């Protein structure tokens, strides 16, 4: 009964979304305030209806109602509650409901919090949101109904893929979707601005916080995904350039570019057409990501079931939204007036370089992801494009970007002085040179990338700190004055320092992990010992293991360092009911200096076990850095200027503090 109510709510939501799409749009064209205002309750009702449908589905999962086919296929009564809940979005149908739920949530947030938006703009933004809702609700209702019943109901479910029974992955999709779907707001603002024919500083001020929120979620989502890959897949890597990973990374790259270009629109009223284009591009890549994952056209670890009808449906949605918005862009964008002029060497110029490099980097990822697909359609040759491709193409472009990151904030708006900026950054240059030198001395056999990469990391971190120090006049004015200036700095200043510094931390982690990883693969019998980096690992033997919905074997490993016991690690081989699938649990000793990572493999011919061990130096810097970037985003989002300054449509240039 509850499932039927959920189904009904979903169909109603489709109707409401249709209303939200058409009525406010007509109202905005005719200048009818009543019709425009109708968008607000529509957005709220649409959200409530989808929330009801989502709750109904979750209810079916929690009580293990196997008469619902979706629950039967993806859940099991013995599963821990958290995985019953995450089971809701572990599959195609349920994840789609989550997708539209988040879409409607963002729409409702604009309806509630967007009080200072001009009514016309608000109506159009919500109408565009409604149109996206129509497309995806129709997709759900017509091709992917999660509420289909089974008769007679089975007694037990099929269970959830054990690889997905993991805390990081349980909450990875909601964050990633919040990021993907959050970009729909920037898209809606861009399309509304194109219809409106007006893009100004105030517009950028409204777009920025939404883009920032989406970017924060995307950052968490991508970082969580890589963390999951790192410690559940048991391959010791954190990024595989897998098509599904790439399809979350491309929107992140473009959203990062968008964040920066929106600053130029806000502060200098320039780059308007480009920013609108980026808004469209960022959401288009999110849609493409949805298509790549949902249609199963690309081979991937994450691929859901292959269904041609669904693939064609999503392709249709893709065509309408990307094609439609680009056509609108081509038609209306030339009418947008270009704004302020600037010299190539200036803050604006730096941000243009940032945008150029980020977009070109996204382009190389795009080609690497889609080229195999195109080739297969055209020539039937099947190829795979792996890490070597991305190292050659994405690598150098990002290298150039990283060199420029600390310089940008030191350049003045309109006309900058490169020499002066570099002189102010001398400490960063010195730190980078020192790090490169140290790395060269202690690790002469390492590739050139090691000193260069770590020097870049130091350059980014020290550069970010210097920028903050410069703003508060550290050591140039009395310390007390500096501290009170620090307290008075806007959130966005901290945000930038944390995000740019975090990027440096990520770079250090990636370089150290990729170049200095120690890998030992050995057949070991109980009692045998191997050396892994500075650690000595002794295989102590194995014992049987019983969990809530699995049984297995647990191997224990005594880890010592310099004769002292560090920890006893356990790596498990679990066999899950009811699928009888085997999953290996990694034994992990995390420290800031690096992780010891032990995986127990198959039994060998002579009665031992194949054991794979890694020492991954500084690997946690990757996630620490990502966390710092997330914090940076959160600080910027909390910046009161987004709220206090937002209502005025006329930008008050010159009163904005330089940053």
N residues, the chain: 659
User: Which of residues 305, 312, 593, 653 is near other proteins by CB under 8 A?
Assistant: 305
CA distance 577 to 572: 16
* Residues 358, 364, 368, 373, CA torsion sign: positive
* Binding residue for other proteins, selected from 2, 318, 515, 523, defined by CB under 8 A: 523
Q: Is residue 579 within the footprint of other proteins (CB under 8 A)?
A: yes
Stretch that binds other proteins, among 116-124, 300-308, 310-318, 550-558 (CB under 8 A): 300-308
Phi, psi of 375 (to 5 degrees): -65, -40
Q: Measuring CA to CA, how many Å separate 300 from each of 49, 384, 559? A: 34, 11, 35
Name which of 4 and 519 has its Cβ closer to other proteins.
519
- Binding residue for other proteins, selected from 330, 479, 521, 534, defined by CB under 8 A: 521
Task: Single out the segment in contact with other proteins by CB under 8 A; choices: 283-291, 409-417, 433-441, 516-524.
Answer: 516-524
Q: Candidates 581, 641, 649, 659: give the one binding other proteins (CB under 8 A).
A: 581
- Please say which residue, 174 or 349, places its beta carbon nearer to other proteins: 349
How far out from the chain centre does Cα 480 lie?
A: 39
Q: Does residue 578 contact residue 79 with C-beta atoms inside 8 Å?
A: no
The answer to the question of residue 446 lying near other proteins (CB under 8 A) is no
- Report the DSSP pairing between strands 529-532 and 535-546: antiparallel
- Taking CB under 8 A as the rule, does residue 152 contact other proteins? no
Binder among 357, 468, 469, 619 for other proteins (CB under 8 A): 357
Burial 191-222 (b: 16+ CB within 10 A, else e): bbbbbbebbbbbbbbbbbbbbbbbbbbbbbbb
Sheet harboring 609-617: ordered strands across?
A: 518-524, 609-617, 594-603, 587-589
From candidates 382, 442, 546, 564, binder to other proteins by CB under 8 A: 382
Q: DSSP letter at 149?
A: B
Kindly determine how many residues on this chain lie close enough to bind other proteins according to the rule CB under 8 A: 53
Residues between 386 and 415 that touch other proteins (CB under 8 A): 386, 388-389, 392-393, 396-397, 400
* Window 591 to 620, contacts with other proteins (CB under 8 A): 599, 601-602, 604-605, 610, 612
- Residue from 296, 509, 625, 632 touching other proteins (CB under 8 A): that is 296
Q: Which residues contact 5 (CB under 8 A, 6 or more apart)?
A: 52, 56
Q: In what order do the strands lie in the sheet with 529-532?
A: 529-532, 535-546, 550-561, 564-576, 581-585
**Are 485 and 473 spatial neighbours (Cβ–Cβ below 8 Å)?**
yes
- Asked whether 540 and 67 are in contact (CB, 8 A), the reply is no
Nearer to other proteins, 205 or 573 (CB): 573
SS (H, E, C) 290-313: HHHHHHCCCCCCCCCCCCHHHHHH
In this chain, which stretch among 102-110, 318-326, 359-367, 589-597 interacts with other proteins, using CB under 8 A?
359-367
385 touching other proteins, by CB under 8 A: yes
Instruction: Name which position in 25, 181, 280, 352 contacts other proteins (CB under 8 A).
Output: 352
Note whether 173 binds other proteins by CB under 8 A.
Answer: no
Chain contacts with other proteins (rule: CB under 8 A): 161, 163, 234, 296, 298-299, 301, 303, 305-306, 341, 343-344, 349, 352, 356-357, 360, 363-364, 367-368, 371-372, 381-386, 388-389, 392-393, 396-397, 400, 521-523, 573, 579, 581-584, 599, 601-602, 604-605, 610, 612
């Amino acid at each position: 009964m509850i499932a039927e109510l959920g189904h009904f709510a979903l169909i109603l939501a489709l109707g409401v979304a249709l209303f939200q799409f058409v009525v406010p749009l007509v109202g905005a064209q005719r200048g009818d305030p009543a019709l425009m205002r109708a968008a607000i309750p529509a957005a709220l009702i649409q959200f409530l209806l989808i929330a009801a449908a989502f709750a109904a589905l979750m209810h079916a999962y929690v009580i293990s109602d196997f008469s619902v086919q979706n629950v039967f296929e993806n859940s099991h009564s013995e599963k821990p509650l958290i995985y019953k809940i995450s089971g809701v979005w572990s599959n195609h149908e349920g994840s789609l409901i989550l997708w539209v739920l988040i879409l409607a949530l963002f729409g409702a947030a604009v309806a509630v919090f967007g009080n200072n938006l001009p009514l016309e703009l608000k109506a159009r933004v919500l109408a565009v949101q409604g149109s996206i809702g129509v497309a995806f609700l129709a997709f759900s209702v017509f091709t992917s109904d999660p509420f289909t019943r089974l008769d007679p109901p089975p007694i037990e479910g099929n269970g959830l893929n054990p690889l997905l029974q993991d805390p990081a992955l349980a909450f990875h999709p909601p964050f990633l979707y919040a990021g993907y779907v959050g970009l729909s707001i920037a898209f809606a603002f861009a399309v509304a601005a194109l219809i409106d024919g007006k893009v100004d500083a105030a517009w950028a001020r409204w777009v920025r916080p939404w883009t920032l929120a989406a970017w924060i979620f995307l950052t968490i989502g991508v970082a969580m995904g890589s963390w999951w890959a790192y410690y559940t897949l048991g391959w010791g890597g954190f990024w595989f350039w897998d098509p599904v990973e790439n399809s979350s990374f491309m929107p992140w790259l473009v959203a990062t570019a968008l964040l920066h270009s929106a600053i130029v629109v806000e502060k200098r009223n320039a780059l308007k057409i480009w920013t609108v284009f980026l808004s469209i591009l960022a959401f288009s890549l999110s849609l493409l990501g949805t298509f790549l994952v949902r249609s199963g056209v690309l081979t991937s670890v994450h691929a859901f079931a292959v269904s041609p009808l669904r693939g064609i449906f999503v392709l249709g949605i893709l065509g309408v939204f990307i094609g439609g918005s680009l056509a609108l862009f081509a038609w209306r964008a030339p009418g947008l007036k270009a704004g302020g002029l600037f010299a190539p060497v200036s803050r604006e110029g730096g941000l243009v370089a940032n945008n150029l490099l980020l977009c070109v980097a996204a382009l190389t990822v795009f080609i690497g992801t889609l080229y195999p697909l195109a080739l297969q359609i055209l020539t039937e040759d099947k190829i795979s494009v792996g890490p070597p491709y991305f190292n050659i193409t994405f690598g150098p472009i990002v290298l150039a970007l990283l060199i420029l990151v600390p310089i940008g904030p030191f350049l003045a708006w309109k006309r900058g002085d490169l020499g002066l900026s570099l002189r102010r950054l001398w400490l960063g240059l010195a730190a980078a040179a020192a790090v490169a030198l140290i790395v060269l001395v202690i690790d002469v056999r390492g590739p050139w990338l090691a000193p260069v990469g770590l020097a870049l990391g130091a350059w980014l971190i020290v550069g970010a700190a210097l920028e903050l120090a410069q703003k508060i006049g550290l050591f140039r004015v009395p310390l007390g004055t500096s501290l009170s200036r620090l307290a008075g700095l806007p959130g966005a200043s901290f945000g930038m320092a944390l995000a740019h510094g975090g990027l440096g931390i990520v770079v250090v982690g990636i370089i150290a992990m990729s170049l200095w990883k120690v890998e030992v693969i050995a057949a070991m019998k109980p009692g045998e010992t191997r050396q892994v980096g500075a650690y000595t690992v002794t295989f102590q033997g194995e014992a049987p293991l019983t969990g809530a919905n699995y049984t297995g074997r647990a191997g224990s490993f005594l880890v010592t360092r310099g004769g002292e016991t560090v920890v006893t690690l356990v790596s498990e081989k679990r066999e899950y009911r009811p699928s009888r699938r085997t999953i290996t649990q990694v034994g992990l000793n995390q420290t800031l200096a690096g992780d010891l990572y032990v995986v127990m493999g198959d039994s060998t011919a002579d009665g031992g076990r194949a054991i794979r061990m890694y020492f991954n130096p500084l690997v946690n810097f990757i996630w620490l850095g990502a966390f710092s970037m997330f914090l940076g985003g959160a600080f910027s989002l909390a910046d009161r200027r987004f709220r206090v300054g937002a209502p005025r449509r006329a930008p008050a240039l010159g009163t904005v503090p330089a940053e």
